Amino acid sequence: MPVGTGAVITPQDKKGKKFALVLPSTNTSVERELHDLRPQDCSWHTGRIMIEAPALDSADAFGAFREGLNASMPSALEIVMTCDPDYIVMGMSAETFWGGVAGNAEFEQRVRDLTGREVTTGATAAGEALKAFGAKKIGIITPYQPVGDEQVVAYFTELGFEVAGITGLCSESATSIATESPEKLREAFLSVNGDDVDALIQCGTNLECAATAAELEKEIGKPVIAINIATAWHAFRVNGIDDKISGYGRLLEEH
């Protein structure tokens, strides 16, 4: 498949999977990073969760953001379900890490109950991506405040990974996450790297990180996983789409 152009489809090919891509209304990165990934004529159909409190500059603000997201999510799912998607892909991750493995499982079940469809979450995808590489000790970067980073560390620790370090960028709002520069992302990754670290992973779907991660892993010789790429990879693989796709990092190229 030509990188960045989607799959080449001939007239006799059947239509591929329809993925409902559900994300906060403040998010401007998920679609930019995923819409060119369309193996086997897959398609993305966006449902946006209304966010009325985008501030993330304190623990209280983070809590208000989460409350609003959970209240608005059923409406977003109801609307996107009118296109009769085959599968739900959550283009958001903070809420899926909350409450550890059990919290993610409860979130997934809520989506199933609301839609009657199976779902990929960022938390599940991140864990499975790290397992695919056989990683044990990891470094993590996020756009979150400490209250969010604590949940991320707890989740990965519960899965059995050793967290060598985490760097949260403390982005001030749900929209400003998308303005973090590639240079800052690179610096954050390197701050949690070490000779004994097996893999690096990024959380926070509005942190546009796919290109930076793909470039950096070539330089440092170990997996550097962007969560949006992990999420797409997981959704493809559980739906029987095994295409190896170049240009987005080792996860899609090798697994």
CA dist list (Å): 74 to 41, 211, 250: 28, 32, 35
* Assigned domain for 49 exists: yes
Looking at the fold, whether 88 and 132 belong to one and the same domain comes out as: no
Distance CA 37, CA 229 (A): 9
Distance CA 226, CA 237 (A): 17
Residue with tokens 């989460």: 66
- pLDDT confidence of residue 29: 98
* Assigned domain for 203 exists: yes
**Type and span of the H or E element at 88:** strand 87-90
Distance CA 70, CA 82 (A): 20
* Assigned domain for 11 exists: no
Distance CA 88, CA 69 (A): 17
Indicate the number of domains in the chain.
Answer: 2
Looking at the fold, whether 100 and 37 belong to one and the same domain comes out as: yes
- pLDDT confidence of residue 11: 41
Looking at the fold, whether 137 and 218 belong to one and the same domain comes out as: yes
- pLDDT confidence of residue 12: 42
| Owning domain of residue 87 | 18-122+229-254
DSSP 198-252: -EEEE--TTS--HHHHHHHHHHHTS-EEEHHHHHHHHHHHHTT-----SSS-HHH
Looking at the fold, whether 48 and 141 belong to one and the same domain comes out as: no
**Type and span of the H or E element at 19:** strand 18-24
Q: 139 has which bridge partners?
A: 165, 200
* Assigned domain for 7 exists: no
Looking at the fold, whether 168 and 215 belong to one and the same domain comes out as: yes
Looking at the fold, whether 56 and 111 belong to one and the same domain comes out as: yes
Looking at the fold, whether 218 and 241 belong to one and the same domain comes out as: no
* Assigned domain for 76 exists: yes
- pLDDT confidence of residue 215: 98
Q: 202 has which bridge partners?
A: 141, 226
Check: CB of residue 133 under 8 Å from CB of residue 198.
yes
Distance CA 235, CA 226 (A): 14
Specify the CATH number for the domain of residue 214: 3.40.50.12500
Of 12, 46, 3, give the one whose Cα is nearest residue 243.
3
For the chain (255 residues), the mean pLDDT of every run of 10, in chain order, is: 37 73 98 94 97 94 94 98 98 96 98 98 98 98 96 98 98 96 98 98 98 98 98 97 96 97
Q: What is the phi-psi region of residue 140: left when phi exceeds 0, alpha when psi lies from -120 to 50, beta otherwise?
A: beta
Burial class of residue 120 (count of CB atoms within 10 Å of its CB; 0-12, 13-18, 19+): buried
